[in-house]
Every structure is written in structure tokens, then in C-alpha cells.
Structure 1
Amino acid sequence: MLSDDFRPQNGFRRFPAFNFDMPSRAFIKLLLLLRTINRNKSETANDFERTTPPMLGLPARKRIHDRIRRLFGGMPCRVQVAALPWRAGENGLEVMLITSRGTGRWVLPKGWPEGSEPLCEAARREAAEEAGLSGKILPSEAGSFYYRKARDSGEQWLCEVRVFPMQVTGVAEKWPEEKSRKRRWFSPQVAGRLVAEPDLGALIRTFQAPATNEVAA
């Protein structure tokens, strides 16, 4: 059944209004996708998320994605955490990336929070397990990005990954996942080009080391 927002009025279908500005191309893309209302609901929401133009800022894109998921009954977004390991190198700021176990892509250490642990502490734990890193982590996130996590069943979960900067003070020679991952330091510009997610790449390229008094123990 169509909601009141979509019931024809005077021969025209009414569309929900958004409370933020969108460039005209993005708005036209939204209208075209809303015309596919009779298609599979979750597929429509996923199409919009995949085709949202990068000209929109991350907060605006996040609001659009959340609104579309609610509108079409899409699956809720699952939250993961990631550490953004950094250090002051000889030639300036450096960040560490690791390879994923499945595809060998360059990624940040990331995973699921466990129990009631703070998100920043979950990110620090993932950095230790996946990259053998220890250090001081910022309690507030530097930003977030989205990606699709493939399940063994073939289902894909939309995940929001919240990224916490971590000043690295120790690099272990052995760590739990050393046999399945590589790790390497890069400049932020190079690391931003190596990751697959555009929002994550932009976050890394523009990252600046936080003030010392902002970093947790």
C-alpha cells in the first residue's frame, strides 16, 4: 500500500520533501529513482545509495541514504568501527593500511564492537588484532564511510564504519592476524588513493593529526 506521501493528487504523484539543499542533478536522480516505486523496495534504496553523486557532502549523502532506506523499507544500516593509525614520520604524517583477508585490498583495521565496549576502544582492539598496533586513540570519530559486506549466504549488509584516529606508539613484530594480512605506512595522499571507498579516501587525504590533549590514553 502506498503511503500518503505517494498517493496521487489531482493526477500527480506527490514526492516527499527533503529539508536540505541538493544540487539539481542529484535531485533529478532522486526523482527518477522514486519513479521506480513498483520495483523491489530494498533494491531501489540500494540503487540510490550506489548512484548518489559524490558532489554531495558526506552528511547530506548520509541523510539521503537514511531517508531512502526508511522510505522503501530497506535493511537497517549496521555499525562497524575502524582505527585510522597514524604517526609522525621523517617526511611528515603517515597512516597505516592493511590488506583485507578476502581480496587483498588496502583497508583500515576494522570490525564489530563487542558487548558494551566504547566504539573507540573497539577500534583500538581491531588495530591490535589485525595490525599488531598499540597506541592512543581519539574518543571522537574523525568521520565515517559506507560499504557493503558480503555474507556467506550471499546477502549483503550495508555497513556504516565510524573511523577513530589512533596515534601509534607500538608496532608488534607478531600479532594475531599476521599470516593473513600485510601492513604498510603511507602518506595520507597515497593511502587515500589506495582505498576503494571514495568517502574513506577523502577522509584519509584530508586527515590532520589531532592536538595532543585530544588523544585518549
Structure 2
Amino acid sequence: MCTSIGPAAVLRSEGGAVTGVQLADGTVAPADAVVVGVGIVPRDGLARAAGLAVDDGILIDPSGRTSQPNVFAAGDAVRTRDPGETPGIRLESFTAAGRQGEVAAHTVLGEDDAFTDVPWWWSDQYDATVQAMGTAPAGALQEALDVPSGLIVLSMIGDRLVAACGATHGPGIARAVRAAGPVIAAKARLDLDAVHATAGDLAGLAALLRAAVRPH
């Protein structure tokens, strides 16, 4: 598995079939097919015209406030500034959009609320499920775990879990990946030796993650 390395070229046979991907460091990853995730561009023209602060999305604080008084925003087109005023990522997920909308409504009503949820995405493609929880900064250690009909990757900063993602054919992975959410939110320590001892058992991994945030 390669992370933080960009692709340089898609390699093809003389007949035009994909044979691999050459990475920016010269490494060649063999492949029969290539999936390209190009992302989306936020439609922030109205926000720009209204004079709101925009930077690859409408900038808001954790309570949904924009740079203009009495103007609030939520959803795929926003980026939440952290307490250090650094713009975060856009969370293109209906769960995030719904929660951000609730937070903005509470703020409008004068109620204290803030969007601090651990990012969560998923996609079901026929019998395959992809799940992701949290975000992995550059430099995070990636621990890959083989699970039945798939893979889970845990992203670690020291002994703390910052993200988990995985893909499998069939059910089971969702429970394990979602169990990572409270661990990430609590910045709890995670014993990687114990993780590997689960030997790919999804139920065992989920139980281990839940135990990481239980009072001892």
C-alpha cells in the first residue's frame, strides 16, 4: 500500500489494457484496473458575490457562522475553521451535512452547539462496502490488517488512532470502522499488538476498539 505518493502515469500494454500505475517516486504498482477519484468543486459563487470568506469552500466556524454576521452555512460546500483559524477539509457526506445544519439552526436560535463529529464516509457498491472514519494527516503510520474478503487500514500518530478505513465484500466492516470513531474522538491510546492479535476477526477488532474508550 502506498500513501502520500502521487501517480505519474497509467501503464498500458500494446493492446491498450491497463497493466499498472507508475508513481512519482518511480515505483510501479501492477493493476488490472484503475479507479480515479477526482473529487468535486464547491459551487461557492453566491457566497463570493455576498462577500463571504471562501477558500475551496465557504469558511465557517464550528457553530456554522460565516465571515459575515447573521449568515450561516452547512453542507458539502463548507470548510470548518479550527480554533487556530486553519481551514479544515470539506466533508462531502450527508451525515455531516445534516449535523452541520442542526448546529447552524441551534446557533441561529441562540443555543450553544458545535460540529465536532469525527468525519465518517461510506459507500456500498454492489456487494462491496467501503467505510472510512477520521482523517489521516501526512506522516501518519499506516497499519494494514487483512480481514475476510478485504482490508482495514488504521492510521496512527504515535500510539493514538486518527483514522480507520476499509473495504470488504459482504457485511461486517461497518461495525469495526464505526467503533473507531469514539477512539479517535477521545484521542485514546491503542495497543497495535492487541490489534494484530485479533487476526482479522472483525467482531474481535470492534470489541477491542470499544474497550479502548471504556473506563478502567
Into which bin does the TM-score normalised by the smaller protein fall? under 0.3
Q: Which structure is higher in RCO with an 8 Å CA cutoff and minimum separation 6?
A: 1
Higher share in helix:
1
Normalised to the residue count of structure 2, the TM-score between the two structures is 0.23
